[in-house]
Amino acid sequence: MTVERLHIGVVDDDAPVRKALSRLLRSAGFHVTAYGSAEEFLRRNQEHDVACLILDLHLPHLGGLELQRTLEYLAQYVPIVFITADHEMGHSIDERTGSQCLLKPVDGEALFAAIEAACQR
By CB atoms closer than 10 A (0-12, 13-18, 19+), residue 10 is buried
53-102 pLDDT per residue, tens = 999 999 999 999 999 999 989 888 899 999 998 877 766 665 556 688 99
Structural domains in the chain, sorted by start: 7-120 (3.40.50.2300)
Torsion of Cα atoms, 32 then 36 then 42 then 43, to 10° = -100
pLDDT of residue 48: 65
Residue 105, preceding peptide bond in cis (omega within 30° of 0): yes
DSSP state of 46: T
107-117 pLDDT per residue, tens = 999 999 999 99
CB < 8 Å & 24+ apart, contacts of 77-80 = 78/9, 78/48, 78/50, 78/52, 78/53, 79/51, 79/52, 79/53, 79/115, 79/118, 79/119, 79/121, 80/52, 80/53, 80/54, 80/55, 80/118
Task: Please state the pTM of the whole predicted model.
Answer: 0.91
